[in-house]
Structure 1
Amino acid sequence: MRTRQTRHARVRSAPVSAPPDVPRAPSPRPYWAGRCRSRREQVVRAHGSGSRQPSDRQASRPGARRGGPVHQMLRLQQAAGNAAVARAVEEARHEHGPGCGHGQADAAPAGQLDLINEAMATPSTQLPGAFLSKAQSFYQNDRLSAGRVHSNPTAQRATEAMGARAMTIENHIFLGASAIGDTETLAHEASHLNANLSGVKETGRDNGAGVTVTDPGQSSEVAATADGAAFAAGAEFAPSVVAQRSATDAHAEDATA
């Protein structure tokens, strides 16, 4: 599944689990399974920054004596900050499920876009070493090393909101819980990653919030499914790569005829 962003990003779908999210710096723009592209500039910011706590120096300044007005104010600020941290921890530990109240909001167009932005800002890893080495040969593309994999709770929630097991946006692959450890699904997403890195344009439907999502029946998804199955079966090259080479060779022959 692919999703588009301001610069024709792509997305494709599947799920993954990981530790609670912590405020992070924005990640580069991604690609996902069942591709999705946001037509407006996405600004990813770390969420959940806690309130600043009063320092020891502040507490020791003149007028900050215990029981005084300044000290009481600082205690209130500290209490508010601790409450914010407690809420953030509680949200991070929350497990989404039927009746939790988040599913409906996440599935709404605006909720999907917000989750995509949040997931893109979470920590990521490179494709697993052994998998990457084989995938680079399989897709004949060394640039697959630029791919980033997100399998944390936020990424899982985003894929679920998009109705996918995994998805690829630009050079980012998001795995849902059921997709973690699934080689065929990861290879499917790597097919989308290969297309994205090669500049192949994607089409799909708009979710209503500027995110274009691919359909399971369209050619790019059918090709990715075939690539994933071939990879899992031990094929040497991706069917999509073989087909592209055949088309290129045929075109070259026609041009010289």
Structure 2
Amino acid sequence: MSIDRLTVLAALLALVPVTVAAQAPTEADEAERLFHEGASLLEEGRYESARVVLERALALEPRASTGFNLASALQALGQSWEAHQLLTRLEAGELGELDARLQEALVALRRAVAEGLGRLELRVRTPRTVEVFIDDERAGELVAGSVLGRLLPPGPHTLRAVADGHHPFRAQVSLERGQTAPFVVALEPLEATPTAPRADPVEPPAARERPAGGFDVGLAVGLTVAAVVVLAVVGVIVGVVVS
């Protein structure tokens, strides 16, 4: 292979990492630009425009500061539930680490977001452990003597609870903005299968036994009395006719 061809090949190979390096920061640069644009719109009070721009920035590059600004825009637009969900992702570390300054700001934003939501506080007396579902999503286990609290958007919600040995529990709960609603989950135990009462068998009276020889004294006495009565009646009738 000639030196010229080796030189060209080396030059082409050298271009590959340069091209990749030039492409890699493109999305990051765009995300950075959109982040600053969204921050400026947020400061100007143009919350809807800020929301659109910051959503694009977050889609390009997950970043805690971008997520926080987007949650601020959502809260300003009255979309407290969407802001709450985004803050939950922030707290879980899904968008990166939070520095001390951002953590302090997040606490304040959390309070503002909670004012636009309702809070449901669940308690249970018996049984000891209950599995709770809110709007068909598992909310966790509720233990007797404890409280299971959940922030929810204002409006109606379906509450369901199940426990071994008990009938399923289902109820509708309605929350208002800023309301804290206590609710006691009451499950009814499954009834045992009823057992039919057991009656003692009734035995028929014992058959009258005849004495040896086949002569029944009781029967003979009965026949004698009957014969006397018949004769007396006949005598009365005869006497009446004769006289």
Regarding TM over 0.5, the answer is no
State the structure with bigger RCO (CA 8 A, min sep 6), 1 or 2.
1
TM-score of the pair, normalised by structure 1: 0.30
TM-score of the pair, normalised by structure 2: 0.32
Highest CA radius of gyration, 1 or 2? 2
